[in-house]
Structure 1
Amino acid sequence: MANTLTVLLVGAGLSLGGFWVYGNRSRDVENVSLRPEPVPLVMSQRSYPLCSRTTRRNCVVDGDTFYTAKDKIRISDIDAPETHPPRCAEEADLGDRATNRLSELLSAGAFELVSAGRDEDRYGRKLRVVMRKGRSIGDILVSEGIARTWTGRRQPWCSENDGSFG
């Protein structure tokens, strides 16, 4: 009888001790993220000229797309006017301005590429927010009136009165 009582007490102690050491794990699961926090990729300072037919490394395609050494990046927090092809003269002008300004901004110093949501778009471009010193480069383009904040779908850049290219 004494041995049975000892076994019961030791078993209960081990059970309570395990609960004390490991705690209530079901409560802790709520605090565990299933997706790791995105780690920004820091891009060192270099020149980002406009892309050409032969240059596809560290260059700017248009106002919201550029190449790094190994990836094609689509700036995910903005929409810039199309340049390939523009649909009207207004879009062509804004698109050229956005493209040249993005080249200037990327070439001005080191920046970070931060993942935000989906990793890639349907064209295989990496979707990233481009940050420098805590500010989105996309926000700079938006504040200058040559890009829009991305709302989830493209909107036209051409007014009804602007002559269409096709």
Structure 2
Amino acid sequence: MSIIQAVVCISTVCSPTPVIIRDGDTIVVNQVAYRLKGINTPEISGKCENNKEHEIDLAFQAKDYLTMLLSSGDVHIYRDGYDRYRRVLADVVVNGENVGDRLIKQGLARKWTKKWSKQPEPWCK
């Protein structure tokens, strides 16, 4: 688990706040878990049947990249509902860019779709 200090803005309130980076798509701010909306990243525990080591490596790369992005400017969190694990779904923006989009561009995440049809994740192939 990584922890950084950042200026975090939720709604119109901004304040210096510790941010816990659990993995490539989940952060915790003020004891609230936020799931980056619209993306999925590899699992740190490795869920791939055939390529577990590669998935774990990519998962840590995604987490490190997210940590770097969140450290680079004020963190703006735009809440948008909850996922099935009761994490708050949110768009997270730093320096005017959605961090989920940046993770996708780096090849460290895939776009989230409601039905993934149990097919292997792209990083498992």
Q: TM-score, normalised by structure 2?
A: 0.75
1:128 and 2:90 are equivalent in the alignment: yes
Return the index of the structure with the highest Cα Rg. 1
1:62 is paired with a residue whose SS is coil
Q: Deviations over 1:70-91 (max 9, x none)?
A: 3001001211111124421221
Which residue of the partner structure matches residue 31 of structure 1? none
Q: 2:53 aligns with which of 85, 89, 103?
A: 89
Cα distance in 1 between the residues matched to 2:67 and 2:115? 24
Q: 2:72 aligns with which of 76, 101, 108?
A: 108
Which residue of the partner structure matches residue 34 of structure 2? 73
Amino acid across the alignment from 1:132: V
Q: Deviations over 1:54-107 (max 9, x none)?
A: xxxx21111000111230010012111111244212211111100111111112
User: What is the number of equivalent residue pairs in this alignment?
Assistant: 109
Matched-pair contact (CA < 8 Å) for 2:26–2:35: yes
2:124 is paired with a residue whose SS is coil
Which residue of the partner structure matches residue 149 of structure 1? 111
Q: TM-score, normalised by structure 1?
A: 0.58
Which residue of the partner structure matches residue 5 of structure 2? none
Matched-pair contact (CA < 8 Å) for 2:40–2:111: yes
Matched-pair contact (CA < 8 Å) for 2:21–2:67: yes
2:102 is paired with a residue whose SS is helix
What CA RMSD, in Å, does the superposition of the two structures yield over aligned residues?
2.2
Matched-pair contact (CA < 8 Å) for 2:23–2:62: yes
Q: Between the two structures, name the one with larger relative contact order (CA 8 Å, sep ≥ 6).
A: 2
Cα distance in 2 between the residues matched to 1:86 and 1:108? 30
Q: Structure 1: give runs of 5+ residues left out of the alignment.
A: 1-38, 48-57, 160-166
Once the two structures are TM-superposed, the CA of residue 45 in structure 1 deviates from its matched residue by: 5.2
1:108 is paired with a residue whose SS is coil
Q: Structure 2: give runs of 5+ residues left out of the alignment.
A: 1-9
Which residue of the partner structure matches residue 63 of structure 2? 99
